C-alpha cells in the first residue's frame, strides 16, 4: 500500500501541474484602440509584459500601427495560431501596411496568414524569430526588410507570397525551415545568409522566377528526398545557374528535380560535379561563373523531351486496359526530340529505339526546326512489342552561341498523355476493355468502384473536417453491398469556459478511476 500511495501522489501532482495549463486563457484581456478603431486581445506573462497580441477587428483596412505599450505594459510578441485563436492578423485581407514596434521579439505562427492586401513589411531589429507560416498566402507582399538580428525563419513562413521579387537574408540567420519560400513565383533574386549550413526540402520549390543562385560557403547540405518531389530547388523551371561551393558535401537526389534549364557550377572531384554527372545536368567550372555577367551565353542546350506526336497514333485502336495504342505495319510514327532552346547543326544525333525484346533500331535521318529535331519511323511487320527509346548520341547540334548540346535519352511518351501513361505497341491486338475483373482483396481510401469484385473490400474512409466514414463491403462474384456509419463533428466555437470545465472534470474522473482500479488491484494481490 505504501507504493500505491506514492503512485497516487505522483498522479495528483501531475494533475495539479496540468490544470493551470487548461484554465490558462482566463487571463485574456482586451483593449479598445479608439484612435485606430481596433479591438486588441492579449495576455500578460509573468513579468507583466504583453504577449500574444491579436487584432480582433478582422475587417480593419489600410494602415495599422501595433502599439508598443498597452496600459503601460510593453508589447513583446504577436499571437500565433492555436486551437482557440487565429494568428495576430490572420485573415485581415484589407490591411495594406503594418508598423511593428521595436519591442516585438517574435512573430508567431500564421501571424499574417492570408493578409493579401499587405504590400510591404519592415521587421524591426528587435525580432529574432519568424515562426512557421507567419506570412503564408500574403500574395500581395512585394517587399520584406528583415531584422538585422533575425536568427531563424520557420517552415512555410513566406510560402505562396507570389509577389516577392528580391530578398536578402541577413547573415545572422542560421536556420531557414522547409518550404519557407515555396511557390514564390515572382522571386527573381535571393541572397542567402553566410551562416546557413543547410538548405532544406522545398525551401525554394517552384520559385519559377529564379534564374541564378549562389550557394554560400557555409552550406554543407542541399536537401531533396529520393521521391523527387521535395527538392530544395525542385521545379524552378527557369533556374539557369547554381554555384555550388566545395563545402557542400551532400546533395539530395531530388534537389534540382524539374530544373530543365539548369547548369551547375562547381569543381573537379567535388559533390557538385558528381551530382551533375549522375543526373545528366550540364556542368561548368566556378571559374567561368562570371562569364554570364558579360552577356556571354555559356549554357549548353539540353534534351527536355522525346515524344511521338498524337497525330501519328490517333487513328489506330487503343487498348484502354493497358493504355496502349496498337499500330500496324506501315504506320508512320513522327518522333520529336525537344531541346531547351533553339538549336542547329549539319548532322543530327542518332536516335536508337526498339520494340519489346527486339533488336535496336537506329534512326539517323532527322530535320532540325527551332528547338526540336523531328524523326520519322515506318513500322515493319517484324516489329512487335512496346516501343521504347534506347539511346541518343552523336551529331553536332549547337545553340546560336556555339554551345554544344548535352544529349540525354528520356523515356519515350505520347504527346498529350498524362505522366507518360500511354504506350505504343506494334502489331498487337486489342483486348476487350470490359473484361476488367478484380479477383483480389482491395483496400481503398474510402471509395470502391468499377468492375466485378470477387474478393472483399474494406473502405477505410476519409476524415475531412470532422466527418468520418467507415464500413465494410463484401460479395461473392457480385457487386457487394456497403454498410457504414457516418459520424460528423459539427464545426464552430464552443464557449471556452465550458471546454475547460469539461476537461477538468474529465481529468478528475480519469484520476479517480485510475486510483480506484489500482487500489482494488493491490487489495486483491495483498489477499
325 and 254 housed in the same domain: no
Cell digits of residue 186: 515572382
In a domain, 474, yes or no: no
CA distance 319 to 382: 21
Q: Which of 259, 387, 282 is nearest to 333 (CA)?
A: 387
CA distance 419 to 432: 24
What pTM was computed for the model?
Answer: 0.55
Residues 252, 147: one domain?
A: yes
* Domain count across the chain: 2
Are 165 and 283 part of one and the same domain? yes
Rounded to whole angstroms, the Cα distance separating 199 from 179 reads: 10
If you compute the radius of gyration of the chain from its CA atoms, what whole number of angstroms results?
Answer: 31
For residue 191, which of 253, 260, 137, 243 has the smallest C-alpha distance? 243
- Asked whether residue 363 falls in the same domain as residue 314, the answer is yes
Q: Distance between CA 270 and CA 285 in Å, rounded?
A: 11
Checking 478-485 for CB contacts under 8 A at 24+ apart, the result is: 478/452, 478/453, 479/452, 479/453, 480/448, 480/453, 480/456, 482/448, 484/459
Cell of 244: 555550388
Per-residue pLDDT of the chain (527 residues; tens, 9 = 90+): 545 555 555 555 454 444 444 334 448 999 999 999 999 999 999 999 999 999 999 999 999 999 999 999 999 999 998 877 889 999 999 999 999 999 999 999 999 999 999 999 999 999 999 999 999 999 999 999 999 999 999 999 999 999 999 999 999 999 999 999 999 999 999 999 999 999 999 999 999 999 999 999 999 999 998 666 789 999 999 999 999 999 999 999 999 999 999 999 999 999 999 999 999 999 988 888 876 555 567 778 889 899 999 999 999 999 988 889 999 999 999 999 999 888 999 999 999 999 999 999 999 999 998 889 999 999 999 999 999 999 999 999 998 888 899 999 999 999 888 666 789 999 988 775 433 333 333 333 333 333 333 333 333 333 343 333 433 333 333 333 333 333 333 333 334 444 445 555 555 556 555 555 544 444 333 43
Cell numbers 476493355 correspond to what residue? 433
What is the Cα–Cα distance from 100 to 78, expressed in whole angstroms?
10
Q: Are residues 216 and 112 in the same domain?
A: yes
Q: Which CATH number fits the domain that encloses residue 420?
A: 2.60.40
Element (H, E) at 374: strand 372-378
Q: Alpha-carbon distance 234 to 249, whole Å?
A: 19
Residue 220 lies in a domain: yes
Do 135 and 262 belong to one domain? yes
User: Is 43 within 8 Å of 54 (Cβ atoms)?
Assistant: no
Examine the fold and report which residue of 274, 294, 314 is the final residue of a domain before the chain moves on. 294
Please tell me the predicted confidence (pLDDT) of residue 517. Answer: 52
In a domain, 439, yes or no: no
Distance, CA of 175 to CA of 153 (rounded, Å):
6
Determine how β-strand 385-393 pairs with β-strand 423-426: antiparallel
User: CA–CA separation, 455 vs 475, rounded Å?
Assistant: 7
Farthest CA pair distance, the chain: 100
Q: Tell me the β-bridge partners of 265.
A: 243, 284
The sheet carrying 198-199 orders its strands as 198-199, 221-222, 250-251
φ/ψ bin of 503: left (φ > 0), alpha (ψ from -120 to 50), beta (otherwise): alpha
Report residue 458 CA to chain centroid gap.
30
Question: Is 279 in the same domain as 346?
Answer: no
Domain boundary among 265, 294, 323: 294
Give the domain-ending residue among 249, 276, 294. 294
Tell me the three cell numbers of residue 446: 474510402
What's the grid cell of residue 510? 480519469
Closest CA to 298 of 257, 263, 339: 263
Report pLDDT for 298.
72
The verdict on 87 and 169 lying in the same domain is: yes
- Whether the CB-CB separation of 317 and 274 falls below 8 Å is answered with no
The strand pairing partners of 470, in sequence order, are: 485
- Shared domain for 271 and 311, answered yes or no, is no
Residue 206 lies in a domain: yes
Domain shared by 225 and 276, yes or no: yes
| 416 domain residue, yes or no | yes
Report angle CA 393, 398, 404 to the nearest 5 degrees: 65
Within a domain: 195:
yes
CA distance 218 to 247: 7
Task: Report the C-alpha gap between 317 and 203 in whole angstroms.
Answer: 45
**Closest C-alpha among 410, 407, 353 to residue 380:** 353
Query: So what's the pLDDT on residue 421?
Result: 75
Distance in angstroms (rounded) separating the CA atoms of residues 390 and 411: 8
In a shared domain, residues 361 and 405: yes
Closest CA to 327 of 277, 377, 269, 283: 377
| Domain assignment present for 47 | yes
Domain co-membership, 278 together with 417: no
CATH number at residue 53: 3.80.10.10
- Expressed as residue numbers, the domain containing 39 is 32-294
Do 318 and 326 contact (CB within 8 A), yes or no? yes
Nearest-angstrom CA–CA distance, 118 and 107 = 16
369 within a domain of the structure (yes/no): yes
Amino acid at each position: 500500500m505504501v507504493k500505491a500511495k506514492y503512485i497516487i501522489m505522483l498522479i495528483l501532482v501531475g494533475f495539479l501541474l496540468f490544470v493551470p495549463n487548461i484554465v490558462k486563457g482566463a487571463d485574456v484581456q482586451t483593449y479598445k484602440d479608439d484612435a485606430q478603431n481596433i479591438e486588441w486581445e492579449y495576455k500578460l506573462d509573468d513579468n507583466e509584459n504583453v504577449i500574444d497580441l491579436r487584432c480582433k477587428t478582422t475587417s480593419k483596412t489600410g494602415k495599422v500601427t501595433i502599439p508598443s505599450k498597452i496600459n503601460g505594459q510593453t508589447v513583446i510578441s504577436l499571437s500565433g495560431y492555436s486551437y482557440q485563436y487565429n494568428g495576430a492578423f490572420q485573415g485581415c485581407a484589407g490591411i495594406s501596411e503594418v508598423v511593428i514596434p521595436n519591442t516585438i521579439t517574435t512573430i508567431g505562427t500564421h501571424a499574417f496568414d492570408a493578409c493579401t492586401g499587405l504590400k510591404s513589411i519592415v521587421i524591426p531589429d528587435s525580432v529574432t524569430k519568424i515562426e512557421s507560416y507567419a506570412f503564408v498566402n500574403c500574395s500581395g507582399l512585394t517587399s520584406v526588410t528583415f531584422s538585422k538580428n533575425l536568427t531563424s525563419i520557420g517552415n512555410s513562413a513566406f510560402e505562396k507570397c507570389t509577389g516577392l521579387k528580391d530578398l536578402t537574408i541577413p547573415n545572422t540567420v542560421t536556420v531557414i525551415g522547409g518550404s519557407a519560400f515555396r511557390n514564390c513565383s515572382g522571386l527573381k533574386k535571393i541572397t542567402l545568409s553566410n551562416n546557413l549550413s543547410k538548405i532544406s526540402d522545398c525551401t525554394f520549390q517552384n520559385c519559377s522566377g529564379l534564374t541564378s543562385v549562389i550557394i554560400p560557403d557555409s552550406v554543407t547540405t542541399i536537401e531533396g528526398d529520393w521521391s523527387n518531389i521535395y527538392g530544395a530547388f525542385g521545379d524552378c523551371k527557369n533556374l539557369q545557374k547554381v554555384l555550388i561551393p566545395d563545402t557542400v558535401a551532400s546533395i539530395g537526389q531530388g534537389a534540382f528535380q524539374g530544373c530543365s534549364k539548369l547548369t551547375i557550377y562547381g569543381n573537379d572531384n567535388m559533390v557538385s560535379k558528381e551530382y551533375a554527372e549522375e543526373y545528366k545536368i550540364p556542368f561548368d567550372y566556378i571559374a567561368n561563373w562570371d562569364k554570364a555577367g558579360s552577356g556571354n551565353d555559356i549554357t549548353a542546350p539540353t534534351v527536355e523531351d522525346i515524344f511521338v506526336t498524337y497525330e501519328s497514333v490517333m487513328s489506330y485502336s487503343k487498348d484502354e486496359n493497358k493504355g496502349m495504342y496498337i499500330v500496324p505495319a506501315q504506320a508512320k510514327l513522327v518522333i520529336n526530340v525537344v531541346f531547351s532552346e533553339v538549336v542547329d547543326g549539319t548532322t543530327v544525333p542518332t536516335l536508337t529505339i526498339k520494340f519489346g525484346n527486339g533488336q535496336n533500331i537506329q534512326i539517323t535521318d532527322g530535320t532540325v526546326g527551332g528547338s526540336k529535331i523531328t524523326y520519322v519511323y515506318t513500322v515493319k511487320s517484324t516489329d512487335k512489342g512496346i516501343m521504347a527509346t534506347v539511346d541518343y548520341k552523336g551529331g553536332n547540334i549547337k545553340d546560336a552561341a556555339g554551345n554544344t548540346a548535352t544529349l540525354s535519352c528520356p523515356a519515350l511518351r505520347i504527346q498529350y498523355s498524362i505522366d507518360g501513361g500511354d504506350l505504343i505497341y506494334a502489331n498487337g491486338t486489342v483486348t476487350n476493355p470490359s473484361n476488367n475483373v478484380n479477383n483480389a482483396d482491395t483496400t481503398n481510401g474510402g471509395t470502391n468502384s468499377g468492375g466485378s469484385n470477387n474478393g472483399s473490400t474494406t473502405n477505410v474512409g476519409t476524415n475531412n473536417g470532422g466527418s468520418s466514414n467507415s464500413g465494410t463491403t463484401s460479395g461473392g462474384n457480385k457487386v457487394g453491398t456497403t454498410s457504414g456509419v457516418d459520424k460528423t463533428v459539427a464545426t464552430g466555437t464552443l464557449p471556452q469556459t465550458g471546454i475547460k470545465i469539461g476537461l477538468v472534470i474529465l481529468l478528475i474522473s480519469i484520476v479517480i478511476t485510475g486510483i480506484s482500479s489500482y487500489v482494488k488491484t493491490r487489495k486483491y494481490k495483498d489477499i
